[in-house]
């Protein structure tokens, strides 16, 4: 059965997340992404205007996975602290995919590019505001929550021993 262009697009994004996670924005090759996705390199450019558009699509996908994890954990809670704890517990499922985390970190690393920086900044604000809306927590509590998430991301990709990633 032939895949639709939307299905191929999804396949390319998943392949690209792995390539960008390993090689970063500048060193990743669209030929390697195409090979991983099982398509021709020209077809990558039929689906995405350029490598930057594909990179931003990957960053968007990772952001959506994080936001979906938070949304699915959102439940009425007695306190904002309890609501944050529920979101944090659900975030642990995101940590299972180190390629997604590495890809996100590569987005931060590539932020010297104004378009990528804009996308990454808007994404951070979108996630921050979502957490605040879902939990009712104040900005200081959400800032601490996001900082803890950053620590967990780095801990996961570096495979740090638990005692170096303990959060309270």
Q: What is the CATH number of the domain that holds 99?
A: 1.10.357.10
pLDDT at 89: 92
What's the rounded Cα separation, in Å, for the pair 78 and 15?
41
What does the block give as tokens for 79? 């306190």
The per-residue pLDDT for 84 is: 96
Task: Report yes or no on 12 lying in a domain.
Answer: yes
Q: How many domains does the chain have?
A: 1
* pLDDT reported for residue 167: 64
Query: What are the CA-CA distances from residue 25 to residues 17, 63, 116 (Å)?
Result: 10, 17, 10
Say if 168 falls within a structural domain. no
Question: Domain span at residue 66?
Answer: 5-157
Q: Mapping DSSP to helix (H, G, I), strand (E, B) and coil, where does residue 77 land?
A: coil
Q: What are the structure tokens assigned to 26, written together?
A: 């500048």
pLDDT for the residue 51 = 98
- pLDDT score, position 110: 98
Among the listed residues 32, 30, 38, the one whose alpha carbon sits nearest the alpha carbon of residue 11: 38
Average pLDDT of adjacent 10-residue blocks, the chain of 168 residues: 86 97 98 96 95 98 96 92 94 90 97 98 98 97 96 91 75
Q: Is residue 41 part of a domain?
A: yes
Q: Would residue 26 count as lying in a domain?
A: yes
pLDDT given at position 1: 73
Residue 164 in any domain: the answer is: no
């Amino acid at each position: 059965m032939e895949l639709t262009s939307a299905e191929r697009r999804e396949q390319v994004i998943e392949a690209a997340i792995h390539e960008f996670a390993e090689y970063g924005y500048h060193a990743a090759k669209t030929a390697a992404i195409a090979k991983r996705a099982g398509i021709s390199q020209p077809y990558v450019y039929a689906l995405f205007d350029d490598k930057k558009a594909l990179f931003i699509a990957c960053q968007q996908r990772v952001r959506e996975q994080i936001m979906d994890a938070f949304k699915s954990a959102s439940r009425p809670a007695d306190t904002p602290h309890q609501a944050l704890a529920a979101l944090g517990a659900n975030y642990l499922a995101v940590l299972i995919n180190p390629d997604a985390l590495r890809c996100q970190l590569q987005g931060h690393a590539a932020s010297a590019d104004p378009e990528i920086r804009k996308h990454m900044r808007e994404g951070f604000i979108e996630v921050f505001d979502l957490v605040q809306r879902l939990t009712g927590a104040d900005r200081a509590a959400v800032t601490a929550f996001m900082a803890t998430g950053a620590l967990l991301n780095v801990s996961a990709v570096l495979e740090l021993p638990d005692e170096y990633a303990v959060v309270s």
